[in-house]
């Protein structure tokens, strides 16, 4: 029963969404299913939040390795929750001036807004900025000319890299004959991006699309139940 009911729900919801795509009468059904999902997701947030607090409190109480990070996590969680729930620093809405909590929770200048603007946004940007360094280390490893394929990749990457900058034009200025202009890095880059790159990407995309259909059919027909923990 524990596995059968979710399986039936998955199959019915899947077929409803499939039918809604082709039958105009049922086009609203898909939206209804999406609304149900959103309601479930909101309920599950409480489950997730509870799990987060429980795990970190256990870590703190057991003083396990790295418990200091858990203190920071719990502190931030509780602090943000208080600022958000009690709308600290939020002014009442103009329509309901006598109702203290009627204002918008992310109103400019409020506590939650400050946390978002001055803590979450800069921290997120910092993590994103780290990507530049990771790209460099990954490129260093990927572009080592160990064999023919890797050398080809290295040369192509070098051409595309230069072709995206002014150097791709400047290097060939003045000396390359008109008939050989196609050799300019910016022109080669355009060719690489438009022909082999687009072709390869489309091949992968077609494979993905077919894979999605096949997986969906396996789930809809109940052939694949492993996501429910069944073989």
* Chain residues in the site for another protein (CB under 8 A): 3, 21-25, 27-28, 37, 40-41, 44-45, 47-49, 51-52, 55, 58, 65-66, 69, 120, 123-124, 127-128, 130-131, 134-135, 137-139, 141-142, 201, 204-208, 210-219, 223-224, 226-231
Written as one string, the DSSP assignment of 173-196 is: TTTS-GGGGGGSHHHHHHHHIIII
Q: At closest approach, how far in Å is the CB of 172 from another protein? A: 28
Q: How far is the CB of 62 from another protein (least distance, A)?
A: 12
In the chain, alpha helices (H): 4-22, 27-61, 67-85, 111-115, 121-142, 148-163, 167-170, 185-192, 198-220
CB–CB of 7/1 below 8 Å? Answer: no
DSSP structural state of residue 30: H
Nearer to another protein, 27 or 93 (CB): 27
Three-state DSSP at 144 gives coil
162, 171 in Cβ contact below 8 A? Answer: yes
CB of 189 to another protein, least distance (A): 16
Q: Which CB atom, from 176 or from 206, has the smaller least distance to another protein?
A: 206
Spatial neighbors of 45 by CB under 8 A, at least 6 apart, are: none
Rounded least distance, CB 102 to another protein, Å:
26
Q: Which is nearer to another protein, 85 or 139 (CB)?
A: 139
Complex with another protein: residue 85 or 203, whichever CB lies closer? 203
Residue closer to another protein, measured from CB, 36 or 101? 36
């Amino acid at each position: 029963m524990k596995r059968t009911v979710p399986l039936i729900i998955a199959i019915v919801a899947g077929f409803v969404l499939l039918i809604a795509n082709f039958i105009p009468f049922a086009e609203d059904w898909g939206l209804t299913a999406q609304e149900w999902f959103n309601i479930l997701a909101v309920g599950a947030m409480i489950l997730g939040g509870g799990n987060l607090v429980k795990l970190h409190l256990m870590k703190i109480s057991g003083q396990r390795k790295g418990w200091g990070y858990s203190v920071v996590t719990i502190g931030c969680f509780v602090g943000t929750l208080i600022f958000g729930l009690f709308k600290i620093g939020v002014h009442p809405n103009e329509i309901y001036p006598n109702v203290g909590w009627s204002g918008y929770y992310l109103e400019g200048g409020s506590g939650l807004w400050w946390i978002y603007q001055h803590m979450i946004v800069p921290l997120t940007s910092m993590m994103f900025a780290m990507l530049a360094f990771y790209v460099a280390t990954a490129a260093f490893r990927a572009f080592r000319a160990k064999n023919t394929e890797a050398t080809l990749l290295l040369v192509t990457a070098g051409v595309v890299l230069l072709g995206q900058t002014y150097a791709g034009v400047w290097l060939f200025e003045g000396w390359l004959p008109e008939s050989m202009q196609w050799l300019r890095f910016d022109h080669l880059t355009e060719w690489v991006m438009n022909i082999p790159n687009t072709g390869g990407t489309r091949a992968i995309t077609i494979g993905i699309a077919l894979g999605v259909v096949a997986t969906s059919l396996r789930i809809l027909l109940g052939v694949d139940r492993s996501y429910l923990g069944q073989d």
